[in-house]
Amino acid sequence: MSQKNAEARSGPSIVSDPAAEGSNRGAKASADYSDVVESLTACAEDALSQAACGGIIDPAEVILWTEFAKRLILYQRDRDLLQTEIPELAEGLIRLLSEVELPEGTVPEVLAHEFMRSLAEVRRVLALDVEAAYQGDPAAQSFAEIAVAYPSLQALTIHRVAHRLELLGVPTLPRIMSEYAHSTTGIDIHPGAQIGLRFFIDHGTGVVIGETAEIGYGVRLYQGVTLGAASLRDGPSLRGRKRHPTVEDDVTIYAGATILGGDTVIGKGSVIGGNVWITDSIPPGSHVVAEPPHQAVRGEDPALAEQLKWDI
């Protein structure tokens, strides 16, 4: 069969052009989704649009800076390295501060300088936290073990850095840092919480410490403790008010205890037992325990017992 006859029967052959096809697909996608793009980029009235149009910092960058700061504060002792890394830490903070809306008249470089001057004090406070952990936990073999392996010390390091930034009026960064600590340690401490010297959280998983909580000297918490607020139905009206408890010096709070309310004060030297629920102040030197559950044991012939029977 001749080529002419073949073309007459089957039509001319079409050789595809990949570049042309890609261009066509791109044009089609652009035409199909331009309204979606327009919707997602508009600065509308909804909360997410306002957040994005106001500028959102990349949490990954904050986390990298947080780990850098934590390493320098906890572990770094080499003078030559610190001579290089301290300026790098400051420059990284300046970059982060330039991406958030600072209080009017605040200059990122000045704010970063003020923060950097506080690093020695942060390290001094954390050293006391390490001592408290060693004194409070017989399982601790050394200060070094606590510094590298205890989740409470990791969470506290991030909190004490984030709290400094919070006091300087830095928005967003401290909260990203605290949520990062929460995700890696299971310990949730708002950067606004005021925590005194020689603080120790044993085990730590599930601990929650709210924004306006105040914790004194030598306090010890166990896992699952909540220092929280009472139920909030109108959050904006309560913003800025004290909503979380005050825990005075030398208090021990055992696992699963829940203490709520901004007017609640746990008096100095008190011991709060596990799984209690407290919404009123406790005098100094108190011991608070939950009522023990009542347990009933009944005898039954195992041969006749097909399943557990419960009296409800």
CATH number at residue 133: 1.10.3130.10
The answer to whether residue 166 sits within a structural domain is yes
Helix 79-97 crosses helix 59-74 at what angle (to 10 degrees)?
Answer: 150
User: Please, what sign has the CA dihedral across residues 70, 71, 75, 79?
Assistant: negative
Q: Say yes or no to pLDDT of 14 above 50.
A: no
State whether residue 249 is helix, strand or coil.
Answer: coil
CA distance 252 to 119: 29
The torsion angle over the Cα atoms of residues 174, 176, 182 and 184, rounded to 10 degrees, is -120
Q: Which DSSP symbol is given to 104?
A: T
pLDDT digits (tens, 9 = 90+) for 121-134: 999 999 999 999 99
Report the candidate in 221, 190, 199 with the shortest Cα–Cα distance to residue 153.
199
State whether 145 and 261 are in the same domain.
no
- The pTM assigned to this predicted structure is 0.81
**Average pLDDT, stretch 182-206?**
97
CA distance 275 to 181: 25
Cα-to-chain-centroid distance, residue 128: 22
pLDDT-derived band at 291, boundaries 50, 70, 90: confident
Looking at residue 8, what is its pLDDT? 44
pLDDT-derived band at 23, boundaries 50, 70, 90: low
Q: Determine the structural domain holding residue 151 and report its residue range.
A: 55-186
Looking at residue 4, what is its pLDDT? 46
Long-range contacts at 292-298 (CB < 8 A, ≥ 24 apart): none
Q: Say yes or no to pLDDT of 11 above 80.
A: no
User: Does residue 267 contact residue 248 with C-beta atoms inside 8 Å?
Assistant: yes
Domain count, the chain: 2
State whether 198 and 275 are in the same domain.
yes
State whether 168 and 265 are in the same domain.
no
